Each structure stands twice: as C-alpha cells, then as structure tokens.
C-alpha cells in the first residue's frame, strides 16, 4: 500500500482555499475527491493522518476530520484500523461503479476517433499474420519489417536511420517509462516543461527523478532564460520535451531554440527525450520542421495514438544502437515485446500516414475554429488563444478555480481535467485544457456543460481584489 505524506498532499491541493465560499472542510474534501477521480491519488493509497495534515495546512484537526468524514460518507475513503484512511471510489451493490457515467462526455482525453484507414489496414494486416504464426510472437525490439518501415520514414524526413536504431513500444507512454527507467537513478535531475503531459511527469517521478520545470505558454512558447539556467545549474540526466504542437499549450519550438537546446544538452551530457506524438498536426499551413535529432543527439518518440487512433497501442523509439540495446535489456524486466498484429497494422498505415495527417489537419482546424466561436459566445470571460497546432486549447478561465470547475462539471455531465493536472506542483488553476478532437455537436454539448458549470461556480467573477481579474484577461 502506498502512502501520501501530508507535505505531498498539500502540494497537490495548492490554492484549495482560494475563493472558498462554503465551509473549509467542504472545499478540502472537494479537492481531495477530485484528486481521486483524476487518478492523481491512487486507489488504495493511504492518506496522511488527520493530525499531520492539519499541521501541514495550518488548520484545526476538527476541519480535517470533517473533510475526511465527508469523503467517507461519499465513498471516497475507507478507514481501516491500523492503516488509516485509504482512497477508494464509491461502490454500488458491492461492485465498484464506473465514475464516467454512460451519458457523460469525457473531455479529459484529447483523442480522435479512428481514421477510416485503420479498418482497411487491419484487414490487410490480418492477411499477413499467418506468416508470423510459426515464430515466438514476441521480440523486445519489435518486428524487423516494422522497424525498417519506421527507419525508412525517418530517412525520408531527413534523418538517416537504420532498423537497428528503432525499438517498437506499446505506445509512446511505454517508451517514456522505458527510457526513464534505463537512464535515471533515484535523485537524478530531469527537465520537464510546465505545463506538461501528466503521464510523462508521473513516469519520470516513478523512476526517481527530481524535476526541474521550464515554463511554456501558448502565446510566448518556452522561457528561454529558464531553459538555459535549468540545463546549466542542474546538469540534468534527462530532458523530456514536446517541441511540436506542445501538449497542452499548442506551442511549437522555433528552429533556433531547438539548436540551442541541442547545444545545452551536449554541454551537460543530457539525453533529450523528444515526444513527437502530435507532430504533423500543424493547423495553419506551417511547414513542418525536420526531426529534432537532425540537429544533434536526441531520442525520438512517436506513436499513432494521437493522430490515427488511441486504440492502436503501438509506438516507437528512435535512438543510437547502443541506447536501443540498453533499453531492450531493461525491457525484459517488464514485458517481452509489442503485439505482432498491432505492428503489422503499423506497417500497413505508414505509407498512408501523410494522407491521414492531412485529413486530420482539415478536421482539427474546423473543430478548433468551432470551439473558439462557441466559447466566445457562451463564456466570453474565458480567453482561448489561437492554437496553431495540436488537439486541444489551453484556455485561461480568469479565476484560480479550475479544480472547482472540473469537479462541478461532473454534475453537468462533463468530465474534464483541471489545469493543475498538467502542472508539476498543483499549478495552473486558472487554466483548462479543452480538446477540439470532437465533432461540432459534441463540442456544443461540452461548451453548454462548461457554461452551466461556470454559472454555478463563479457567479461573481469580478469579486476578486481590484485589478487581479483584469491581469488575466
């Protein structure tokens, strides 16, 4: 059973008391409940003792006891003798029910429906499957035919690559975890963007990394000064970056900064882990930049999950042969390879990938514009920046109550991740990531739910101290 310290829980709920209109215990319970629903507190995790949390938050123990009691009454905590209070989900009739009800929209995932090419590719892959049935069916590196197909694609993009420089993974997330566990030791420094892809942050932390954050904004991109200082002052072992249509801001790193990052990494001996899973989804006709590794040593991660279909759990890692072999040896401790059938589908889809990406750009461009129009009409206080690439908008809601909005939205039929989900230490309470991967009618339903939620949570947005609201508009 894992335990969450009072200090760690306090960091996760940073700002929970801001603009609280009801009792403090209710606000505290709401924030912990959201952490459980979002998966940031693992089911079965032991929460800190009431006395410890009260001391950390500078509250009376009575307030914390009331919050825990509220969570127990709602089915979100179990009190186990000798084990304290343990996180759980409410159950119904002895069975744990799915938090996402059938009639709820799930905007917590920025995912596209499967491209029509997937079904045809699967049929073609099935016709080739019999050729592999006499083999073991698993290989930590991946099928040679799949690795060669990916190598050919990188070569065509200007990055000469051999099949031995490719390892097939079970999605990009798997690749992040594999590389982190291969390179990092407990206490090593790693750079991440802020905000960032939350599951990548979790993988780095699970490998024992101490994280240094580099701010990224939708308007200005990467904070160059902080980026430079992070490399020079911490000598990180690893830097996880998403330079193409960054998730969640949509920013793209300019070529000059990429060159600077490669130079900084070389000076410090840092391995660059470049996530290009949203590459190719530039929405305003920009010319795609060449692969990051054309500028210098970098590990490239890709997958079909964001661009083609999330149900295809297949991805890849492109690195030098020595590192690929190290990762492969490490992989034996966790799994023995990527399913053969998914790899055969990948081989069938790669020749069509440019056409698929072109289709996706048309679809996403229209959906982005529709979301911007509907938000401006329904919630004019919110500010959605112009998104030049990717699959979601990083929307400034004006008040630091994103977690409250995310929790309240569930009662209006919408599941959405709070902005703090994308921050390393509970930051970004003024933001929501809103995906535009859905068709117009679904976007309309989502915006209607958000508007209803906003009316219920922020009835008086101008009640902040003078000037504070104006600063964020």
Residue 261 is predicted with a pLDDT of 98
- In the predicted model, what is the mean pLDDT of the chain? 90
Q: Which pLDDT score, from 0 to 100, does residue 473 have?
A: 25
Tokens for 38?
Answer: 């979002």
Which is nearest to 4 in space by CA: 57, 40, 54, 58? Answer: 40
For residue 97, is pLDDT > 90?
no
Quick one: pLDDT band at residue 442, thresholds 50, 70, 90? Answer: very high
Q: What would the mean pLDDT of 82-98 be, rounded to a whole number?
A: 63
Residue 82 CB partners (closer than 8 Å, separation 6+) = none
For the cut 60, the answer to whether the pLDDT of residue 98 exceeds it is: no
Q: What is the pLDDT of residue 255?
A: 97
Residue 468's pLDDT band, with cuts at 50, 70 and 90, is very low
Whether the per-residue pLDDT at 349 is higher than 90: the answer is yes
| 278 has a pLDDT exceeding 60 | yes
Average pLDDT over residues 429-458: 95
- pLDDT digits 0-9 by tens, 369-407: 999 999 999 999 999 999 999 999 999 999 888 988 998
Residue 240: band (very low, low, confident or very high) from pLDDT cuts 50, 70, 90? very high
pLDDT at 94 over 90: no
Q: What band does 466 get if pLDDT is binned at 50, 70 and 90?
A: very low
Using CA atoms, how far apart are residues 367 and 270, in angstroms rounded to an integer?
Answer: 38
When pLDDT is averaged across residues 302-329 and rounded to a whole number, the result is 96
**pLDDT in the model for residue 236:** 97
Assess contact for 457 and 405: CB atoms under 8 A.
yes
pLDDT over 50 (residue 248): yes
Question: Which whole number is the average pLDDT over 59-86?
Answer: 88
pLDDT-derived band at 275 (thresholds 50, 70, 90) equals: very high
**What domains are defined for the chain?**
6-96 (1.10.10.10), 105-113+355-472 (3.90.1150.10), 117-354 (3.40.640.10)
pLDDT tier at 417, thresholds 50, 70, 90: very high
Q: Round to whole Å and give the CA distance between 221 and 256.
A: 13
Q: Which two tokens stand for residue 442?
A: 């679904």
Between CA 300 and CA 166 the distance in angstroms is: 9
Residue 100: its pLDDT value, please?
A: 47
Token duo for residue 245: 């249509």
- pLDDT tens by residue, 99-152: 445 578 999 999 999 999 999 999 999 999 999 998 888 899 999 999 999 999
Say what the pLDDT of residue 465 is: 33
Give Cβ neighbours of residue 449 (< 8 Å, ≥ 6 apart). 105, 409, 412, 413, 414
pLDDT digits (tens, 9 = 90+) for 281-311: 999 999 999 999 999 999 999 999 999 999 9
| pLDDT tens by residue, 170-191 | 999 999 999 999 999 999 999 9
Q: Looking at residue 392, what is its pLDDT?
A: 97
**Token couple for 121:** 């590719």
What is the C-alpha to C-alpha distance for residues 352 and 460, in angstroms, rounded to an integer?
51
Average pLDDT rounded to a whole number, residues 431-444: 96
Residue labelled with tokens 């209070």: 85
Instruction: Please say whether the beta carbons of 324 and 167 come within 8 A.
Output: yes
pLDDT the model gives residue 135: 87
Centroid of chain to Cα 142:
25
Q: Categorize the per-residue pLDDT at 242 as very low, low, confident or very high, splitting at 50, 70 and 90.
A: very high
Query: Model-level pTM?
Result: 0.82
Q: Please report how many Cα atoms fall inside a 13 Å half-sphere around the Cα of residue 473, on the Cβ side.
A: 10
- Which of 216, 278, 204, 314 minimizes the C-alpha distance to 435? 278
The answer, yes or no, to whether residue 462 has pLDDT greater than 50, is no
Least confident piece of the model among 120-129, 275-284, 361-370, 415-424? 415-424
Is the per-residue pLDDT at 428 higher than 80?
yes
Place of tokens 């127990």: 72
In this predicted model, what pLDDT tens digit does every residue of 10-61 receive, in sequence order? Answer: 988 877 777 666 788 988 998 898 888 777 787 788 999 999 999 999 999 9
Tokens of 195: 């905000």
Give me the pLDDT at residue 79, please: 81
């Amino acid at each position: 059973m894992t335990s969450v310290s009072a200090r760690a829980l306090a960091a996760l709920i940073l700002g929970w008391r801001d603009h609280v209109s009801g009792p403090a215990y209710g606000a505290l319970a709401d924030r912990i409940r959201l952490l459980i629903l979002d998966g940031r507190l693992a089911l079965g995790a032991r929460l800190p003792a009431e006395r410890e949390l009260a001391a950390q938050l500078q509250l009376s123990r009575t307030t914390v006891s009331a919050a825990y009691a509220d969570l127990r009454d709602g089915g979100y905590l179990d009190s186990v003798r000798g084990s304290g209070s343990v996180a759980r989900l409410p159950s119904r009739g002895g069975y744990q029910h799915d938090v996402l009800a059938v009639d709820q929209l799930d905007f917590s995932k920025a995912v596209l429906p499967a491209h029509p090419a997937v079904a045809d590719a699967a049929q073609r892959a099935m016709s080739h499957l019999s050729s592999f049935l006499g083999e073991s069916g698993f290989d930590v590196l991946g099928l040679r035919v799949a690795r060669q197909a990916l190598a050919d694609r990188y070569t065509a993009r200007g990055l000469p690559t051999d099949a031995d420089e490719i390892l097939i993974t079970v999605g990009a997330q798997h690749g992040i975890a594999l590389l982190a566990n291969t390179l990092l030791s407990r206490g090593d420094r790693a750079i991440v963007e802020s905000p960032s892809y939350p599951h990548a942050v979790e993988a780095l932390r699970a490998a024992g990394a101490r994280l240094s954050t580099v701010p990224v904004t939708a308007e200005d991109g990467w904070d160059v000064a902080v980026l430079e200082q992070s490399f020079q002052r911490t000598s990180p072992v690893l830097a996880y970056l998403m330079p193409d249509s960054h998730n969640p801001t949509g920013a793209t790193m300019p070529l000059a900064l990429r060159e600077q990052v490669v130079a900084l990494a070389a000076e410090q001996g840092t391995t660059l882990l470049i996530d290009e899973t949203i590459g190719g989804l530039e929405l305003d006709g920009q010319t795609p930049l060449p692969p990051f590794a054309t500028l210098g040593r970098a590990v490239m991660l890709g997958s079909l999950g964001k661009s083609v279909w999330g149900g295809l759990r297949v991805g890849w890692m492109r690195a030098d042969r020595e590192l690929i072999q190290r990762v492969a040896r490490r992989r034996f401790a966790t799994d023995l390879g990527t399913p053969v059938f998914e790899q055969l589908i990948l081989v069938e889809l790669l020749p069509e990938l440019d056409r698929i990406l072109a289709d996706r750009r048309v679809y996403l461009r229209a959906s982005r514009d529709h979301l911007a129009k509907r938000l401006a009409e329904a919630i004019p206080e919110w500010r959605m920046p112009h998104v030049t690439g990717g699959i979601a908008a990083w929307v400034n809601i004006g008040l630091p109550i994103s977690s409250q909005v995310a929790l309240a939205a569930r009662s209006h039929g919408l599941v959405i991740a709070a902005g703090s989900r994308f921050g390393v230490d509970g930051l970004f309470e003024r933001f929501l990531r809103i995906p535009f991967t859905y068709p117009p009618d679904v976007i309309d339903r989502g915006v209607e739910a958000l508007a209803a939620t906003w009316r219920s949570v922020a009835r008086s947005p101008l009640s902040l101290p003078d000037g504070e609201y104006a600063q964020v508009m």
